[in-house]
Amino acid sequence: MAWLRSAFQDELDGVTASLVQLSNEVSAAMDKATHAILTANLEEAEAVISADDQIDELAHELDNRIIEIIARQQPVASDLRALVTALRMSSDLERMGDMAHHVAKITRLRHPGAAIPSELLLTVQELGKTVKAVADKCSEVIANRDLEKALEMEKDDDEVDRLHRKLFEALLDESWPHSTETAIDMTLIGRYYERYADHAVSIARRVYFLVTGTYSEKLV
């Protein structure tokens, strides 16, 4: 029976490895999408848009593999919880990829013009830098079940929220000199970054629960 357990553990480890790969993919996607929208780089934006199909395919393949493992192994207790949690994390990661895809599509929509006004470039750059840190920690949390990193992500998410509010303050200022179209673009961009970080924190929350059996009051 020991070899059966070993084979099952290999399958669980494979699921974790696939989640880490998916996390790395969505981190790279948003990093490229941020650079594309900051520089009005259509080629880079198109690469992100095309890569979203690969991210979706990875997520769907992983979901199917998890369901097949559950059906075949009929796991219980902590093993079942780990697999169900992995399904939910896969969904969060797919949505993170979608957020990067949406940012890239705005770059394409406004090309050859720039989507972001010059006075807001720094704020969006900071948003991109912060969500990159969140995504990188997300990969570590998944790979190592690192609860310390999981808790750090809440502070990073607070910073994303602060920068998101900063964008809105600029949009609501009576001296806003740009078009309604630009205001809509900036509203959407801010929302995409905020949701991206929210999904990453959701993953941290799931890992924390998986390891401890309780939800952290700091990851809300």
**pLDDT tens readout for residues 108-119:** 999 999 999 999
Only one residue has tokens 């705005």, namely 106
d(CA 126, CA 142): 25
Query: The tokens of 37 are what?
Result: 């929208």
> Does 17 reside within a domain?
yes
CA distances from 168 to 57, 62, 126, 158, 212 (A): 35, 37, 15, 15, 37
Whether residue 4 is predicted with pLDDT greater than 90 in this model: the reply is no
pLDDT bucket at 216, cuts 50 / 70 / 90: low
Range(s) of the domain holding residue 29: 13-212
Q: Give domain status of residue 5, yes or no.
A: no
For every residue of 118-162, DSSP letters joined together read GGGHHHHHHHHHHHHHHHHHHHHHHHH--HHHHHHHHHHHHHHHH
Distance between CA 42 and CA 113 in Å, rounded?
A: 10
pLDDT band at 17 (very low <50, low <70, confident <90, very high): very high
Given a cut of 90, whether residue 195 has pLDDT beyond it is yes
What's the pTM value of the predicted model, to 2 decimals?
Answer: 0.93
Quick one: pLDDT band at residue 124, thresholds 50, 70, 90? very high
Q: Report the pLDDT value the prediction gives residue 56, as an integer from 0 to 100.
A: 97
Q: Is 90 part of any domain? A: yes
Average pLDDT value for residue range 127-152? 94
Neighbours of 78 (CB within 10 A): 11
Q: Tell which residue, 178, 187, 30, has the closest CA to residue 113.
A: 178
The confidence score (pLDDT) of residue 218 equals 63
The answer to whether residue 76 is domain-embedded is yes
Which residue, 33, 26, 7, is CA-closest to 142? 26
The answer to the question of residue 39 being in a domain is yes
3 state SS of 167: helix
The pLDDT score that the predictor gives to residue 61 is 96
Higher pLDDT, 12 or 214: 12
Residue 188 lies in a domain: yes
Average pLDDT in the chain: 92
- When divided into structural domains, the chain yields a total of 1
219 part of a folded domain: no
What is the predicted pLDDT for the residue at 36? 98
Q: Greatest CA span in the chain, whole angstroms? A: 72
SS3 185: helix
Position 6 pLDDT exceeds 90: no
Per-residue pLDDT of 52-74, as tens digits, reads: 999 999 999 999 999 999 998 88
In the chain, the percentage of residues whose pLDDT exceeds 90 is 81
Q: Are 171 and 57 in contact (CB under 8 A)?
A: no
Share of the chain above pLDDT 70, in %: 95
- Integer Rg of the chain from CA: 19
Mean pLDDT computed over 134-163: 93
| CATH classification at residue 166 | 1.20.58.220
> Cα-Cα-Cα-Cα dihedral of 192, 198, 201, 206, to 10°?
-120
| Structural domain includes residue 218 | no
Nearest to 97, CA basis, from 153, 32, 161: 32
* pLDDT for 2 beyond 70: no
- Band of pLDDT at residue 219, cut at 50, 70 and 90: low
| pLDDT for res 213 | 81
Q: Is the pLDDT of residue 85 over 70?
A: yes
- Residue tagged 């630009």 (tokens): 182
